[in-house]
Structure 1
C-alpha cells in the first residue's frame, strides 16, 4: 500500500475528521483555486469571456488539447465524411531553432509527445480532396501553449478569402452532411 493510499478514508460512507496533512493539501487546493479564479477574471476583464476564445480554438493549453479536439471531430463528424468526401487530416510541427519538421496523420495523433513541442509552429490541415478544398490553421507554440496565428483556405488550388471559402465548402458539403443540412452544426464545425 502506497503512502497516498494511507491518506484516503477507509470508508467513504462514514465521515472521518481530516488529518492535518489532508487539511494542508486542501489549503493548497483552495489557494490555487482562488488564484486561478482571479487570473481568469483578470483575463476576462481584458479579453471578454474566455469561452468564445476556446470555442474559436484561439488557444490551447498544449498540443494535447488540440489533439483531443481533432480526435473528437474526426471520430464523430469526420468519421461520416472521410469516405464520402475524402477528408484527410495532417498536423505538422516545425521546431524553432532546428527547423525540424514532424508530420502526423489522423491515425498517428496518439503518437505525439506534447513534451517535445515546446517552441515552434503547428499547422493543421483539413483536406476535402473531392472538393478541391484545403483548410489550414496555424498556431505558434510557446512554452508548450498553442496560440492561434491564422486560418487559410484554398478552393481549387486558389487562395480564397475565409468567408468565401467556407461558403463554397458549405455548398459542396451540404448534400453529404445531414447535420449541416439540418442546422445541428455550422460550417465552422467542419473546420
Structure 2
C-alpha cells in the first residue's frame, strides 16, 4: 500500500512538476509574447509619434501652402482686375484710334477737296491774271490812244484858234475895208 501510495505520490508529483513546467513555460511564452507585444507597441508608438510629427509638419506645410495659395489667389484676382482695367483702357484707346482714323480720313478727304478747289482757284487766278494783263495792255493802249487823241485835239484846237484868229483878223480887215468903201460910196453919192 505504501508502494501504491508512493507511486501515486510520484505520479502526483510528476503531474505537478509537469503542470508547473507547462505553467512556467506558458508564463515564459506569455512573458515573451508580452515583451514582443510591448516592443511592437513601443515601435508602433514611435511610428505613431513619427507619423504625428510628420502629420504636424505636413499640416504646417499645408497651412503654409494654403496661405501661399490665398496670397496667389489675391495676386491673381488683382492681376485679373488690372487685366480687365487694361482691357478697358485698350478698348477705349482702340475706340479713340478708330475715331481719330475716321477724323484723319475725313480731314484727308477735305484736304483733297480743298486741294482741288485750290487748283481750280489757282487756274481761275491764272485766267484772271491773263485777263488782267490783257485789260492792262488794252488800258495802256486806250491810254496811249487817249493821249494821242488829246494831243490831236489840242493841235486841232490850236489850229482852229489860229484859224479863228486869222479869220477874225481877216473879217475885221474886210469889214473895215467894206465900211471904208461904204463910207466912200456914201460920200460919192452925196457929191453926185
Normalising by the smaller structure, the TM-score range is under 0.3
Greater CA radius of gyration, 1 or 2? Answer: 2
Q: Which has the higher contact order (CA 8 A, sep 6+)?
A: 1
Q: Which structure is higher in strand share?
A: 1
